Amino acid sequence: MKSSIKICAFLLLLTALSLGSQVYAQQKYDLLLKGGHVIDPKNKISAIRDVAIANGKVVTVAAKIDPAEALKVVDVSGYYVTPGLIDIHVHVYTGTGERNSYAGDNSVYPDGFTFRSGVTTVADAGCAGWRNFEDFKQRIIDRSKTRVLAFINIVGNGMRGGKFEQDLMDMEAKPAADMALRYKDLIIGVKTAHYGGPEWTPVEHAVEAGTMANIPVMVDFGIDHPERPLSELVTKKLRPGDIYTHLYSGLRHEQVESGKVNPALWEGRKRGVIFDVGHGGGSFLWRLAIPAVKEGFLPDSLSTDLHIGSMNSGMKDMLNVMDKFLAMGLSLDEVILRSTWNPAREIRHEELGHLSPGAAADVVVLRVEKGSFGFVDMYGARLKGTQKLDAELTLRDGKVVYDLNGITRPDWNTLPRDYRQTGDARWDAITPAPARRGGG
């Protein structure tokens, strides 16, 4: 009798395991975002769509996907679903303890500022040069959940302040190019910035290094000098695909006396030069940006220039920069293009910035709030707006890394009295229980 009971119990266990395996086999997707308005500029999608994700990748984007095929279904109706935002101008080489240095205290740790703003990829804009890039990699890049890429500074010592950044002898093309070639997957460009002299050396050596490594150059043009005018920079010195950042600063004759955009910028654009916002704490003016946008000179990419001097000033975060362009009349589709697919192409990482099948499932779910809001420039001048963006949910490689209002979570009073983790490691990177394959 006892042996019969044991056999029956064993058969029941086998049946349960088999049924569990069948249930899991039917679950083709780890996560399904259902009913949101997808904006995917690369694929020319701006419509209500479902997004299915498995093993960290986008599997399909379609009008209707059966929720029974997904382990986890999240209702995102009423929200916008876009690729994870890409911010190509940040400063995140911190932790060295060096005062007044962007290879130190002036930079910020990326993870505290990215996911809550829908940003999944950043490019550090020249904090490290060839002498200290590997320290930056070990301290920040290798330890961050955010995808951190980098422009390497043409200054070997990087962005460590005046005595370093004004040292023409430390602006060597070959060592910078060699380091870029050593870390092709991480170093996406060369940066020159903050130079105060009249020489073209920083730009010329940065372009030389960029040519050697076959990567673009980003230029923060430093102090304005008649010996090196902006017009010559964008029409002669820079190559197609090189990036002029701080487009709306007004500090280097981006606007002429008539209030129009400097004609040289139009010429530069025809040549293929890229124009980036790089808002920062001191590089964005309404009195330049608004007339330029009305004239039709829009930025190719939006970026924050995030650092300790900008994060609480006129620039708050990536969404705040996007809000400003919505307030100036751009559509949400236009703003998303300049925050996803355009920057991905500019840094030559075209595997990012879109929701194509097989792409890394970096995704943000955005809410558009309506109301009365204000947006501030570098001098504290305000522009009123009627809408602003909030990141409701952020996924990095298909897993939840930020969930503002818990839309992926069960209500507490529906759970067992002694509940613990509510997530599953297949879709959750915040409070995951171990992945349990086979329907366990």
For the segment 281-308, the average pLDDT, to the nearest whole number, is 98
Q: List the one residue out of 197, 278, 207 whose CA is nearest residue 236.
A: 207
pLDDT above 90 (res 184):
yes
pLDDT digits (tens, 9 = 90+) for 399-420: 999 999 999 999 999 999 999 9
pLDDT digits (tens, 9 = 90+) for 319-348: 999 999 999 999 999 999 999 999 999 999
Location of structure tokens 């997904």: 70
Instruction: Assign 3-state DSSP to the chain and report helix, strand, coil percentages, each to 5.
Output: 30, 25, 45
pLDDT digits (tens, 9 = 90+) for 79-106: 999 999 999 999 999 999 999 999 999 9
Location of structure tokens 């694929």: 43
Percent of the chain predicted with pLDDT > 90: 92
pLDDT at res. 76: 98
Q: Report all structural domains of the chain as residue ranges with CATH numbers, in order of start.
A: 18-82+389-439 (2.30.40.10), 85-384 (3.20.20.140)
Edge-first strand order for the sheet with 85-90 is 85-90, 119-125, 147-153, 187-192, 217-219, 243-244, 274-275
pLDDT above 70 (res 114):
yes
Location of structure tokens 């060369």: 190
pTM greater than 0.85: yes
- CA contacts within 13 A on the Cβ side of 1: 0
Residue 321, classed as helix, strand or coil, is helix
Task: Transcribe 150-184 into DSSP letters.
Answer: EEEESBTT-S--HHHHT-GGGB-HHHHHHHHHHTT
pLDDT above 50 (res 235):
yes
Beta bridge partners of 423: 432
